[in-house]
Amino acid sequence: MFKKLLLVMICLTVLTGLLIAGGTKEESEGALHIIVATDATWPPMEMVDESKNIVGFDIDLLNAAAEAGGFTVEFRNTAWDGIFAGLPAGEYDAVMSSVTITKERKKQMDFSIPYINAGQILIVRADVKGVEKLADLKGKSVGAQIGTTGSFEIEKIAGLTLRTYDEIGLAFEDLVNGRIDGAVADTPVAADFALQNKNYKGKLKIVGEPFTDEFYGIAVKKGNTKVLETINAGLEKVLNTKTYTKIEEKWLR
């Protein structure tokens, strides 16, 4: 009888220890830690600075979302070719790298709520007044890379003269030198040339809002609802706030 009672007590002690250990482990883990792959070659969204730190709009935004949502993030610089293959392989938990949400991609992975419309936007010289949209430049010439959505949008506006270029950088060069009156490009490309490029910074500005839809989202492995819901909860606390506006002004305005 004594042996049976002793055995029961030992079992209870072991079980209690396991429960306590489990609780300690959960507490020690704390906030969910999310590893995020990004191809840091796409300024101003993600890039490597002079100190070899990964910086940019995407990085600031997700860090802010992590702080607001109570989780932590770790960015890993990952080459674009094969970046999505790392999700099902479990190499990381998410991909945030200026990824456009498309129907085809949604078949292979899940996406967070959209965090930016990176569609086509208008760029003019810094001293130009009263221009907020393409129609405000009627009677003038506007440049875009040939065959792009931007060039098609310019063609839709009666009274505009379209100037096409093999490379968008040539359009910005002509804009700075007064050979055209505006240029149209993807929002991140526009921000990179107008705000980050030392040759154009202070000479050009972005006006108005994107006039086409090209939404970026954070990709996660199909069915990984824990990571997806955690990211979305953090994003929802940051989007449409002063914090988001500050990040946007820092990198895209």
Question: What's the count of helices (H) and strands (E) in the chain, helices before strands?
Answer: 8, 15
Q: What is the pLDDT of residues 165-211, one digit of tens each?
A: 998 999 999 999 999 999 999 999 999 988 888 889 899 999 999 99
Specify the pLDDT at position 28. 37
> What is the C-alpha separation between 9 and 149, in angstroms, rounded?
74
Q: What is 203-248 written as a DSSP string?
A: TEEEES--SS--EE--EEETT-HHHHHHHHHHHHHHTTSHHHHHHH
Asked if residue 137 and residue 113 are part of one domain, the reply reads no
Asked if residue 202 and residue 174 are part of one domain, the reply reads yes
Whether the pLDDT of residue 70 is over 60: the answer is: yes
Asked if residue 43 and residue 153 are part of one domain, the reply reads no
Q: Which of 1-10, 124-133, 193-202 has the lowest mean pLDDT?
A: 1-10
- Higher pLDDT, residue 22 or 37: 37
In a domain, 16, yes or no: no
Asked if residue 186 and residue 139 are part of one domain, the reply reads yes
Asked if residue 72 and residue 147 are part of one domain, the reply reads no
- Higher pLDDT, residue 212 or 3: 212
Quick one: average pLDDT of 139-166?
A: 95
> What is the C-alpha separation between 240 and 245, in angstroms, rounded?
7
Main-chain phi, psi angles of 15, to 5 degrees:
-60, -45
In a domain, 3, yes or no: no
At 158, is the pLDDT very low, low, confident or very high (cuts 50, 70, 90)? very high
Strand partners, 143: 163, 183
Q: How many CB atoms lie within 10 A of CB 230?
A: 23
Asked if residue 223 and residue 110 are part of one domain, the reply reads yes
Whether the pLDDT of residue 6 is over 90: the answer is: no
In a domain, 164, yes or no: yes
At 9, is the pLDDT very low, low, confident or very high (cuts 50, 70, 90)? very low
Asked if residue 219 and residue 100 are part of one domain, the reply reads yes
Asked if residue 57 and residue 173 are part of one domain, the reply reads no
Asked if residue 130 and residue 182 are part of one domain, the reply reads yes
Number of domains comprising the chain: 2
Whether the pLDDT of residue 109 is over 80: the answer is: yes
In a domain, 232, yes or no: yes
Specify the pLDDT at position 29. 57
Asked if residue 100 and residue 41 are part of one domain, the reply reads yes
> What is the C-alpha separation between 24 and 60, in angstroms, rounded?
32
Strand partners, 55: 47
Amino acid making up residue 170: L
Residue of 170, 120, 175 lying closest to 150 (CA atoms): 120
In a domain, 12, yes or no: no
In a domain, 73, yes or no: yes
Whether the pLDDT of residue 61 is over 80: the answer is: yes
Strand partners, 133: none
> What is the C-alpha separation between 133 and 165, in angstroms, rounded?
21
Q: Which of 8-12, 52-56, 69-73, 238-242 has the lowest mean pLDDT?
A: 8-12
Specify the pLDDT at position 118. 92
Specify the pLDDT at position 24. 29
Asked if residue 66 and residue 101 are part of one domain, the reply reads yes
Q: Which CATH number is 185's domain given? A: 3.40.190.10
In a domain, 201, yes or no: yes
Asked if residue 238 and residue 132 are part of one domain, the reply reads no
What is the domain range of residue 139? 120-207
Mean of per-residue pLDDT scores for the chain: 89
Q: At what angle do helices 225-238 and 57-69 cross, to 10 degrees?
A: 100
Q: What is the pLDDT of residues 225-239, one digit of tens each?
A: 999 999 999 999 999
In a domain, 19, yes or no: no
